[in-house]
Structure 1
Amino acid sequence: MATVRVNGVTLCYEEYGAGPPILGIHGTGSSARLWEGAVPELSARGRLILYDRRGGGRSERGAGSGRTGVGQHADDAYALLRELDALPAVMVGRSYGGEVALELARRCPSVATALILLEPAIPALSASMRLWWRAVTGRINHIARADGPGVAAECFAREMLGDDGWKELPAEIHELFRSNGPAVLAEINGDWTVPDAASLAGLTLPTLLISADDSPAAFRAADRALAEILPRVRHERVPGGHLVDPAGPAVLAFLDDVLTTTTS
């Protein structure tokens, strides 16, 4: 595990393999540790960089009001890639990490060669997602006030993954989510992007968008709305829940396509 100082915080990251850069961006309450199973396949295709986002896992939270916005995480991702001389990169974002990847690419398309968005489910793009998200965040904030951030983080994970999905995770990952409670609260109460259709319609990067069969229906509604806007998107459904495999067959096939194109 290496570290780099960017934007006032120390981020912890790992590197595997060689070749075209591939950046993995994890979701809320998570860590690069949850991507370990994807390392062999992804690093066989390029220089894989996995990091713990600000406030999550082994990285610093940084000073501030206790709220962290998507734009701030996008700034961190850019600074990390710049410091590691890894621009441009294929950006693979899962859940909130997908929104971070999309926000960075929307601001500066030259930083990415392609986007892989694993159920980003952006609330701003769907009325049903906004209503669902407002209800979830209200419950989580109430639990945080009553029982503390650790309990709130577990409840948040159960909302995203379902009780069965939560139970399938090992005990050490349960503890990871609980310990990331302050980061969970900072993100759900932070600034979320409100991307307009025009800016997304101008994003011509090849994009893979994946939705999961067993996630809340609001997630798929938001993903459908995003798929209708992006001009070069391949939208696929996969079995399972919200923790979409970053090295699943659809991801690897797309990676092989885009890396062949960009390196030929």
Structure 2
Amino acid sequence: MQTLPVNGYDMAYLEIGAGPPLVCVHGTLGDFRTWSAVYGPLSKKHRVIPVSLRRFFPEHWDGVGGDYLMAQHVADMIAFLERLDAGPIDLMGHSRGGHIAFRIAEQRSELLRRLVLAEPGGELDRSLDPAADLGPSPRAARIVSSAEMIKRGDIDGGLAIFCDMIDGDGAWARLPALSKQQLRDNAYTLIGQVGENRQPYTRSGAESIKTPTLFIGGADTPGALPVVLRALAAHVPGAQTALIAGARHWMFEQAPQEFCEIVLAFLGEA
């Protein structure tokens, strides 16, 4: 593990392999270990650089403080890419990390060569979904419930609510012990996420993306995430879309070989 100081915080990351840099940004409750199932295949052709965002493992945060914000994580990642000084890089983000990667592409496209968004998280505004509610979504309400349980000390209960919401009923129970422990290591970040002030995606934002973009997801992912993926992919210029049969939101764990084949083919395009 290495660290790089960005915006007054020592961001932890790994470097695996050699070649063009591929920076990987984890989602909610994740960290640089999120991508462990695909380190090997991706690092055969790339210098794979998975990061841990501010307040995530290896830090064990208590959920107290005001710097767990979407804008802060976006700013941290931009500073991280600048500090790498590796030229335009390939950037891959999953879920909440996909949201962060999307915002970087909006704000600083010159830092990027290609963009991979694995079921990016977030809400759509009415320019992308005319039926979008103005208030909190049912998914946001479930996150609040999960965070409240964690705050009361029921870590596994809160994580079960979150995982089952994302990947279907019984998702938490199906997880192997190692995956459950990684989520527990980051459980208190869910408390921060409740007040992170994440803004919805807009059609003008999607249309502004200049970076060649791949949207990848699980064909069996339930809920709102596939809706977000389709809406963004329809408006990001020239975007490609790939869905992995039989996989859900953590598709790179459930179908790592197919995931890597799709991503590497996209990154290898001239």
Distance of 1:43 and 1:161 partners within structure 2 = 27
Structure 1 ranges of 4+ moved more than 6 A: none
Q: TM-score, normalised by structure 2?
A: 0.85
In structure 2, give the amino acid aligned to 1:100: I
Partner of 1:37: 37
1:169 maps onto 2:178 in alignment: no
Map of 1:241 onto structure 2 = 248
Per-residue displacement from partner, 1:8-56 (whole Å, max 9, x unpaired)? 2211110011121101111110122121120111111211101111111
Alpha-carbon distance, 1:62 to partner: 10
The Cα offsets for residues 181-200 of structure 1, whole Å up to 9 and x where unpaired, read as 22122123311133432232
Which of residues 133, 136, 142 is equivalent to 1:136? Answer: 142
SS of aligned partner of 1:192: coil
Among 245, 264, 269, the residue aligned to 1:255: 264
Please tell me whether the aligned partners of residues 70 and 103 of structure 1 are also in contact (alpha carbons under 8 angstroms).
no
SS in 2 for 1:190: coil
List runs of 5+ in structure 2 lacking aligned partners.
none
Read off the aligned partner of 2:50 and give its amino acid letter.
L
> Counterparts of 2:162 and 2:180 in 1: how far apart (Å)?
12
Please give the alpha-carbon distance, in whole angstroms, between the structure 1 residues aligned to 2:32 and 2:178: 13
Q: Which residue of 2 aligns with 1:119?
A: 119
More helix by share: 1
Percent of matched pairs sharing the same residue? 26
How many Å separate the matches in 1 of 2:11 and 2:59? 5
SS of 2:92's equivalent in the other structure is: strand
Q: Distance in 2 between matches of 1:93 and 1:27?
A: 7
2:206 is the alignment partner of 1:200: yes
Matched-pair contact (CA < 8 Å) for 2:148–2:191: no
Across the aligned residues of Structure 1 and Structure 2, the Cα RMSD in angstroms comes to 2.6
CA shift, 1:202, in A, is 2.1
Between stretches 54-63 and 160-169, larger displacement belongs to: 54-63
In terms of mean alpha carbon deviation, does 80-89 or 138-147 score higher? 138-147
Q: Is the 8 A contact 2:251 2:259 kept in 1?
A: no
Q: Answer whether contact 2:117 2:216 (CA < 8 A) is retained.
A: yes
Q: Which moved more, 1:111-120 or 1:130-139?
A: 130-139
Normalised by the size of structure 1, how large is the TM-score?
A: 0.87
Q: Which amino acid aligns with 2:4?
A: V
Shift, 1:161, TM fit: 2.6
Provide structure 1 residue ranges, at least 5 long, that are not aligned to the other structure.
none
Q: CA deviation at 1:254?
A: 4.3
SS at structure 2 position matched to 1:245? helix
CA distance in 1, matches of 2:61, 2:73: 11
User: What is the deviation of 1:148?
Assistant: 4.9
Question: Cα gap change, 1:123/1:257 in structure 2, threshold over 3 Å: closer, same or farther?
Answer: closer
CA deviation after TM superposition for structure 1 residue 158, in Å: 3.0
On the 8 A contact 1:161/1:241 being kept in 2, the answer is yes
Aligned partner (choices 227, 230, 239) of residue 224 of structure 1 = 230
- Matched pairs, number: 261
Give the corresponding residue for 1:68.
Answer: 68
Deviation at 1:130, TM superposition (A): 6.0
Q: CA deviation at 1:86?
A: 2.8
Residue number in structure 1 paired with 2:95 = 95
Match of 1:58 in 2: 58
Amino acid at match of 1:18: A
Kindly indicate whether the alpha-carbon contact (under 8 Å) linking 2:214 and 2:266 is maintained by their aligned counterparts in 1.
no
Question: Which amino acid in 1 is paired with 2:199?
Answer: T
- Following the alignment from structure 1 to structure 2, what is the Cα–Cα distance between the partners of residues 194 and 167? 31
8 Å CA contact 2:98, 2:118 repeated in 1: yes
SS of 2:137's partner is helix
CA deviations on 1:207-230 (whole Å, 9 max, x unpaired) are 111232332231111111111211
